[in-house]
Amino acid sequence: MSRYGIISDIHGNAHALRAVYEKLGALEVDRIVCLGDIVGYGPSPTKCLDLVL
């Protein structure tokens, strides 16, 4: 059975996104699904897009 990591509401926070990726790596998920709100009012929208795409 596959293990999925679900993320959403990143809002341009690359620091938090990296922390979530580290946790998901430790959990050994097979796939990461992003539900949206990658950019927005946070300080690092371009970095977040680079990390997600």
In the chain, the number of structural domains is 1
Q: pTM of the predicted model, to two decimals? A: 0.90
Band (pLDDT 50/70/90 cuts) for residue 9 is very high
Alpha carbon of 8 to those of 3, 11, 33, 38: distances in Å? 17, 9, 8, 7
Domain that holds residue 16: 4-52
Say which residues have a Cβ less than 8 Å from residue 43's Cβ, sequence separation at least 6: 12, 13, 14
49 is written with which tokens? 């897009």
Residue with the larger pLDDT of the pair 19 and 40: 19
Burial string for 22-40 (b: 16+ CB within 10 Å, else e) reads eebeeeebeeeebeeebbe
Q: How confident is the model over 10-32, as pLDDT tens digits?
A: 999 999 999 999 999 999 999 99
Mean pLDDT of the chain: 96
